[in-house]
Each structure stands twice: as structure tokens, then as C-alpha cells.
Chain A
Amino acid sequence: MNITIVDYKSGNISSVINSFNEVAKDKVKIEVTSDINKIKSSDKVVLPGQGSFKSCVHGLNNISGLIDTLNEFAINNKKPLLGICVGLQMFADIGYEETKTKGLGWISGKVSKIDNQNGKYKLPHIGWNQINIVKESKIFKDIENNSHMYFVHSYEFIPNDKNVISATTDYSSNIVCAVEKENIFGTQFHPEKSDKIGLQIIENFIKL
């Protein structure tokens, strides 16, 4: 099996690479690339994302044929894909960070700024927060409810269809922190920075 981590210059992805390598050991081939042919032939794809929604979408657009390839991979061929942080947010139709930007439109909904309730909640939402698992998800195998995960974000994904939500976390309101729609998975938290429990999620994705 080979897994591709999409490198579209979305900022720092070394932690994602390190964590996948740690879990995969020599059993699974982890490739980091923006080469669309390699993405096409891989079994699974990881879409990381740091920085703003706008800059990440631009990053995808800057690589010729990348969005088409991802659409084909995830939507037509229904192969497993994991989006992390802004990687998850880009599943939405639209994002409002910096300026209104069109997303991938895979899971209908929007990405807006977390309501800080007039300064009551600091942003970014940085640190360890507990996840509330609301539906069974393949990537949560052996993950206990209320486990701590590491978050760092100021925007939240609000999907139209609440059935895609697999976990939420409590910060200002119930923030969507994991989604699953058929073959598409996403986490708002960073499994690559969430210690052993985060590595377990990565392992679950690898083993899908």
C-alpha cells in the first residue's frame, strides 16, 4: 500500500510526515508529493493544511490539475482521504477567512470564525481539548470518548448535513472536530501532534 501526503506548500507539514512515518514503519510507503500521477496511483491521500483557508485553496489551485485529481480520487473513485485542520475545512463549499473563498465542495457547508463571545474565549483555540464522539467512525477505532486532542485554529467548519459529524469539541459552542462522509475523513484537531492517541487515529486511517 502507498499513502500520499499532498505537498501543496500549505506551510509546515513535517509533523504530519514524521507521524505517518512513525506509524507506517516499513510496512506502508509514505510519499510526500504534489505530483498528480503519483496521487492518482496511490491508495490513500492525506490533505494537510495550515495557514488560512484562502492561502490553502490558492495553494491547491497553483498546482495544475491537482484539484481535478483530488476530485477524481475522492469523489469519483471513492478512495480514502483524510483532511487535517484546514485540509478538513476545505471540504466545505465556502470559507470566510480573509475573504470569501470557494472550497472543494465535497461536504456542503461553510467555514466561519469561531464566535469568541465578545472576548470571553481567546482565539486561536490553542491546546488540548476533549472530543465528544457523536457517531461511530472508522478512524475512531480504539479511541475512547472524551480523549484529548491538540487543536490550533480560529475558524470552524459548519456542515449543512449534521449526519457527517463524527465528533465535536466544546469551545464557545460545540465545534465540529471530526467528519466522516463515506470515504472522506477529516479532523479539525491535529492527530500528528496529539501524542499516542493521535498516532492511533493515523494508524486507523492507514489500516482502513
Chain B
Amino acid sequence: MLKNRIIPCLDVKNGRVVKGINFVDLKDAGDPVEQAKIYSDGGADEICFLDITASNENRDTIYEVVEKTSKKCFVPLTVGGGVRSIEDINKLLNCGADKVSINTAAVQNPEVVVESSKKFGSQCIVVAIDAKKNGDMWEIFTHGGRNKTGINAIEFAKKMEKNGAGELLVTSMDKDGTQSGYDIELMKNISSSVNIPVIASGGVGTLDHLVDGIKSGANAVLAASIFHYGTFSIEEAKQYLASKNIPVRI
């Protein structure tokens, strides 16, 4: 039986992890490679790096981080943030990323998803959807949630599936950072509208939130803070899900 995935996400800026953490035996708390290794040793089903480097000059730092991590972690590695072009995707994959997540570029130019999935295969193209509730619909936001687009998230999700995306990483802008749980309605609506796997993101504060995320129809749950700050370990999260009869890899 296919297991539900737990994906810890690390925010990386200028080659360093942004949020602090209390890992034991960690020599350098800001080193993304070391943190990724701890997650993968702890049973993470996949590792996600979100590059939040603001300036273009420092963009190259993420390539170095990916290269080093892929030599130490033998679980899938997804990298997102600032991915604009086929060339960016190519570079990340060559450094050892297994999947690349595309956000703003997919909204501005949906053809980039068509082209990249043809060139590299759907299996490595993840489309990241950042959405906020607006009246009756969920609206897509780009540029790290700063720009509204007027685009309906559900319609966009269907379009991305058609364009060749292998997975959707869905983040609720309303919930992100609140630790009050995923936007369950959003996850339900998107999961039931597409036939590709959905990764739920944004809002996890407790282990029950992970359970709710899977029950909403998502195939994987992504979380940052609860793992960053050492509130829970990956092992604890997995044991908890298993205790709630949610199939996970242990």
C-alpha cells in the first residue's frame, strides 16, 4: 500500500537555514545540509528546500546546498523558490534535486510547465499553488504571496494537471504561519478536482493537523515550524499518524 508522506521543509536564504532549531548534536544550526541529513535519518519521506534568497547575486548558493545535500541524503529532494526558467530547472536537477517546484513562473507563463514536463518528465515538476480565500473562491497569489492574480486556484490546479505537472504543492496563505492547521476545505477541493498527488502545506501546529491534512485527501503533508523548532521530531510525527491508522513508512 502506498504510504502517506511527511515532508519537512527548510527555508534557505543565502545558503543558510533561516529559522532556528534545537537539534541535538548539531554543529552548525544554520547549515541546511546538516539539517536535511538529520531529517532524512529520522525517516523523512522527502526533503524540501525553499530558497527565499532575495537577491539574484546570491542565487548560486542554493545550487551548492543542493549539491552537497544530494551527496548525503538518499531520499527525494525537492527544491523551490525563484525557479523561473527551463535553465533554472536544469541547473537544480543537475546539482542533484529530484523535483523542482515552480510557483510564480507557472502562473505568469503556464507554458513553462508544459515545456519542462516534456523535457524533464512530469515526475520532477511540482507546481506550487499559494492561495487565499476571497469570497466564494480561493485566489492564487504569486511572488511569495505578495501579488494577487484574480485566478481561481481550483481551475488553475486542473490546468496545471493538464499541462503536465506531476504533483501540486498547495499552500493556504490564510493559514501559513498561524499554526492553526491546514485549510482543509481548500485541500479537499483541490484533491478531489485533480488526479495527481497533492501535498498540503501551510498552518501546521500540532500532530493532529497532519492527520487532518491526510484525511482531507492530500497524499503528503509538508510542515516547517514544528520540525524546525524541534516541537516534534519526524519519528514522533510518524508514530502519531500510525497510531491514528494513517499508513506511513516506519
Evaluate contact between B94 and A12: CB separation under 8 angstroms: yes
A171/B2 in contact, CB under 8 A: yes
Interface of B is mostly: loop
* Assembly CA distance A130 to B1 (angstroms): 6
Measured in the bound complex, the distance between the Cα atoms of B194 and A122 in whole Å is 8
9 A-B pairs (CB sep. < 8 Å): A122-B196, A124-B123, A124-B167, A124-B197, A126-B166, A129-B3, A150-B75, A171-B2, A199-B74
CB distance from A158 to the nearest CB of B (A): 19
Q: Indicate if B122 sits at the interface (CB-CB under 8 A).
A: yes
Closest B residue by C-beta to A98? B118
Q: Which of B4, B120, B122, B197 contacts A122 (CB 8 A)?
A: B197
A124 engages B1 (CB within 8 Å): no
Min Cβ gap A188→B in Å is 12
Answer yes or no: A40 CB below 8 A from chain B CBs. Answer: no
Q: In the A-B complex, list the 6 residue pairs whose CB atoms are closest, starting with the nearest.
A: A51-B121, A12-B93, A128-B249, A152-B123, A14-B96, A148-B249
Complex contacts, B219 vs chain A, CB 8 Å: 122, 126-127
Please tell me if the beta carbons of B195 and A126 are within 8 angstroms of each other in the complex: no
> Are B122 and A22 interface neighbours, CB within 8 A?
no
Distance to closest chain A CB from B74 (angstroms): 6
What is the bound-complex CA distance between A74 and B196, given in angstroms? 36
Cβ distance B195 to chain A, nearest Cβ, rounded Å? 5
- CB of A198 closer than 8 Å to a CB of B: yes
Report the interface size class on chain B: 20 to 34
Chain A residues within 8 Å of B45, by CB: 127-128
**Which of A60-68, A105-113, A189-197 forms contacts with chain B?**
A189-197
1/0 per residue A113-136: CB within 8 Å of B?
000100100111111111000000
Tell yes or no: B212 within 8 A of A by CB.
no
In the complex, chain B residues 77-129 whose Cβ is within 8 Å of any chain A Cβ = 93-98, 119-124
A15 contacts the other chain (Cβ, under 8 Å)? yes
Known A-B contacts A50-B120, A126-B166, A148-B3; the reply to A192 vs B74 at CB < 8 A is: yes
Assuming A123-B195, A124-B123, A124-B197, is B93 touching A129 (CB within 8 A)? no
A23 nearest CB neighbor, chain B only: B74
Which residues of A lie under 8 Å from residue B94 when comparing CB positions?
Answer: 12, 14
Contact of B93 among A14, A55, A194 (CB under 8 A): A14
| CB of B76 within 8 Å of the partner chain | yes
Are B121 and A127 in contact, CB atoms less than 8 angstroms apart? Answer: no
B79: shortest Cβ distance to chain A, in Å? 12
How many angstroms between the C-alpha atoms of A51 and B155 in the bound complex? 26
Determine the chain B residues whose CB is within 8 A of the CB of A19 once the complex forms: 74
**Closest chain A residue to B99, Cβ basis:** A152
Give bound CA distance, A130 to B124, whole Å: 22
